[in-house]
Chain A
C-alpha cells in the first residue's frame, strides 16, 4: 500500500511539474488539432464519417504514445540535464521506483492531448461524443495510461544505454503509430507487421480504447493483454534500471559535471 501511495503521489508531483511548462501544454493542446483535422478529412474523403470519433480517439492515443516515447525515453537524461538525478538517487529506494512515477506522469500528461482532440473534434468538426460503452471507456483510458507508463520504464532504462537516443525516439514515433493501429486500421497493413503489433502494449491499449468507443468488441481481453505485456515490460525495465544505476555510479554519470 505504501508503494502504491509512493507511486501515486510521486506521479502527481511529476504531473504538476510537467504541467507547469507552457511549451508542453501548448504542444499538447494544439498538435492534436492538426492530427484530428488530418484524421477527419481522411475519413470524410473515404466516405466513412461515422468513424470520425474513432479517428479522434486514435489521434489522442497517438499523442499519448508520443508523450511516453519522448518523455519516458528521455526521462533519465532529462533528470541528468536538470541535475536532479543525484538528488533522486540519494534516497533509499530502488531506482525503478524513482523513475516509474516519471514515466507514468508522461503517460498521464499525454491524456491532455486526447482530451484536446475530443474537444477540438466536437468544437471544430461537430463530432458527437457518442461512446458505445462509456463505463468501459472511463476504465480503459486510465488502464491504457497505466500500461503505457509501465512500458515507459523499459524505454527509460534502455534508451539511456543507447548513444543518440533522440534519433531512436524519432525513428519509433510513426512506426508504432502505424503497427499499433492508431493511425490506420491494422487490417490495411502488411501481414508481417501483425506479430510486431501484437507484442506491443500500445496496440492493445489503442484497441481497448477503440473497442470501448465503437462497441466493436469486448474491451476487457484487450485491456488485460495490454496490462500483462506492460507488467512484463515493467519488470524488465526495473532489472535494466538496476544495471543502469550500477553503471552510472561506477562511471560518475549520475551528474553531468
Chain B
C-alpha cells in the first residue's frame, strides 16, 4: 500500500547549521503519526519540506506517491496543512477566509459554501458569523486554521503544534474532529513536544533529535513499556542535565 507520506533522505542546511540530516520516515495510510522532539530539533523544518513550503537541499517527499517538488499540484491537492502559529487574514470573517482559500483551491462556489457551513457548525464557529478573525480567541483561531486545512477534503493532514495555547474545551473539539478524520480513512502527522498529547492521540511516533530520527515506529514499540516521556528523555538527553536546584531558592 502506498504510504500517506514518505520522506526519503530529506536534508536542509542553514549556513553552517545542519537543521535536518537525511531524515527517512514512512507514515502509513490511516495512521495518526506523532512527531516529537525538543524545540529546534528539526520537526517544523522537516514538515515544511514535506508539504512543499521549504525546498530541501537533498532528498524527496512523496504524498500518496506524488512527489512534492516534481508534481506539486497533485501533492498539494492531497494534503491539508495547519502551520505553527495563529496567522490568518485578520480582517476577514471565518467564512470569508474559507471562501477565499476554497477559491484558491479551485473549488466550485456551491461546494465551498456547503463545506464552510458544515465546518463552521462542527467546529462551533457558526455562532459568530460576523466576527472578524482579529477578534477570535486562540482556540477559535486554531479551529478556523483546521477548517482551512480540511476544506479541500485532503487525505493527509499535517499539523504543527495544533493544541498550543488552546483551551481544554476547544482542544476536545479539535481532537474529536481529528479522530473522526482518521476513522474515516484519513492520515495525520502531528508535530508536538507534548508527550502526553501524542500518547493520547497517536498510534505511531517518531522522535526527532538534532535533525535526525532517533526512533520511529508504532507507539507501543517505540516506548517499550515505559511512558513516551521517559523514552524521549532517554533518547535525547539527560533527565535533568545535571541541574539539581537553584542555590538562592533553596532553604
Contact = CB atoms under 8 A, between A and B. Distances in A.
Main secondary structure of the interface of A (DSSP, over half): helix
A83 B85 contact: yes
Given A87-B83, A92-B77, A252-B14, A17 B89 contact: yes
Contacts of A13: 89, 92, 96, 99-100
A90 B80 CA distance: 9
A89 interface: yes
Contacts of A16: 91-92, 96
Interface stretch (A2-10, A158-166, A205-213): A2-10
Interface in A124-169: none
Size range of the interface on A?
Answer: 20 to 34
A98 interface: yes
Interface stretch (B28-36, B50-58, B192-200): B50-58
Interface residues of B, number: 33
B88 A84 contact: yes
A47 interface: no
A249 B55 contact: yes
Contacts of A1: none
Contacts of A96: none
B148 to A, nearest CB: 7
A255 B148 CA distance: 18
A86 to B, nearest CB: 5
B55 A246 contact: yes
A233 B106 CA distance: 26
B53 A86 contact: yes
A23 B85 CA distance: 26
B89 A82 contact: yes
B73 interface: yes
B103 A17 contact: no
Interface of B: 14, 45, 48, 51-55, 72-73, 76-77, 81, 83-92, 96, 99-101, 103-106, 132, 148
27 contacts: A2-B106, A6-B104, A9-B99, A10-B100, A13-B96, A13-B100, A16-B91, A17-B90, A17-B91, A82-B89, A83-B87, A84-B88, A86-B83, A87-B88, A87-B101, A88-B104, A90-B51, A91-B104, A92-B106, A249-B52, A249-B55, A252-B48, A252-B54, A254-B54, A255-B53, A255-B85, A257-B85
